[in-house]
Structure 1
Amino acid sequence: MTRSLPALMLGAALVGLSAPAALAQVAPPPMQVHAMAQQPALNLSASGEVKVAPDMATITFGVTTEAPTAQAAMADNARRMTEVFAALRRAGINERDIQTSGLNLSAQYDYVENQPPRLRGYQASNRVTVGIMDLTRVGTTADAVVAAGVNQIDGIAFGLKDPKVAEDQARRLAVRALQDKARLYAEALGVQLGAIRSLNEGGGYQPQPPMPVYAMARMEADSGSTPVAGGQMTVRIDITGTYDLGR
């Protein structure tokens, strides 16, 4: 047993030395990362605009009344608005093109320095927005509602019943401008213009904001009706595109 102890110790040492070698043989090789060259790209923006005559108008107007009591102010306002609605029907305006846009009742006070506010009465206000599909009726409609009791016209806005035709024309102009710009840049850079990678659109038709009544028309006492000019409106489409570039 004395002679076999060194042999056992030698065998254990050999096993301990061989274990790291065995582990080294089965370890996976280190990961190799290959850097991929990114495809060069060209990012551009362009727009297309179309001038088109409006074919509809929107007028916002109202009736404001005052009375000592809230009930009297509302009753007077309702009576005058009933006459206004009748005038709109006589002017050929469809009911679907008439929308109440505001109804308000508020107390009115007189203010004197060093004294508490004194209630003067109540004010009732009713606002209506009307779409006029025939521009030749804009002036006569404004005159008709004023004669029926309207005492405030907030403004007029011109628009398009169907803006799709103008929008599509603006889109074609925008794409053409984008393509021309991309070819110019590629030529200036001395590279080959590749396929388009992405295309995004913005803009589009937006109705004009209402103009004040003094910009809408000039009323003349000796004229037949209020003159109104629609002029032209702009439909604009904005696009951005990304093109691949050759090396």
Structure 2
Amino acid sequence: MLRSALILAAIAATPATAQQATPPAPMAAWPADATLLDVTAEGKATRKPDIATIRAGVVSQAPTAAAALADNAQRMTRVVAALRRAGVADRDLQTAQIQLQPQYRYAENQPPAITGYQASNSVSIRFRDVAKSGTILDALVAQGANQIDGPTLSVEAADAALDEARTDAIRRARARAELYARAAGLRVDRILTIAEGGASFPQPPMPMMARMSVQRDEATPIVAGEQELTASVSVRFVLR
């Protein structure tokens, strides 16, 4: 009888315990006389690219797969050696792609016939002196490189540039909020929330050249120009 009374007492106490639980924290409130304004702004930072990334390689053709690979390896060895002589560090050299493909001859009402093989090997090269990259590319062609794609120009200290763009985005958002507040006869009281919308880098250009096989009399020019990095933010202001 005593045990049954204890069980009933525990059951009766359960609802009371649930009612005493701490409620979830309410969302941040704002004064009843405040006006909310949401502004999305984009900030910008301009930098001169200081890195050029180019892919250079060798394409070889021969009647057999072994011959195509052997010729390709010899010519690619000369290309890599030329890059190292030009001062390109090992950390800035990386194999990009190696391929071996049969070449076919097609005739009507006949199965494709293999006529030979094509071997290709390319490396990704990062030039830290953009102005000299064109001269080095011409030297590579002289050493047997016959496939060159690029350049992709980039900024090494991109994080610092993006931070500048983020700061500019906040400044632009604040200026726009001040404009709206004045037009409405109000003033900007404070910022309630800030959300980053993302950052963007310039799109890489189309390939500069492909399958070069003729040595040029003049150095290939590569002009760095400028790049614009952007960052966007969404800011909620409290107006009074």
Contact 1:157 1:207 in 2 (8 A): no
Q: Deviations over 1:165-184 (max 9, x none)?
A: 32222222211110010111
Contact 2:40 2:173 in 1 (8 A): yes
TM-score (norm 2): 0.79
Query: Any unmatched runs of 5+ in structure 2?
Result: 1-28
Paired position in structure 1 for 2:8: none
1:241 lines up with 2:213 in the alignment: no
Aligned mates of 2:54, 2:205 — CA distance in 1: 8
Secondary structure in structure 1 of the residue aligned to 2:78: helix
Mapping of residues 152-163 of structure 1, within 5 Å: 152-163=147-158
Identity %: 45
Paired position in structure 1 for 2:39: 44
1:93 alignment partner AA: V
2:125 alignment partner AA: V
Which segments of structure 1 move beyond 6 Å, counting only runs of 4 or more?
none
Contact 2:202 2:228 in 1 (8 A): no
Mapping of residues 1-247 of structure 1, within 5 Å: 40-204=35-199, 206=201, 208-214=203-209, 221-223=216-218, 225-246=219-240
Secondary structure in structure 2 of the residue aligned to 1:242: strand
Paired position in structure 1 for 2:9: none
Q: Deviations over 1:150-204 (max 9, x none)?
A: 1111221111111233222222221111001011112222234232111122343
Q: Deviations over 1:67-111 (max 9, x none)?
A: 122122111111111111000001110011001111111111010
Aligned mates of 1:164, 1:52 — CA distance in 2: 12
Query: Any unmatched runs of 5+ in structure 1?
Result: 1-35
Contact 2:57 2:122 in 1 (8 A): yes
Contact 2:191 2:236 in 1 (8 A): yes
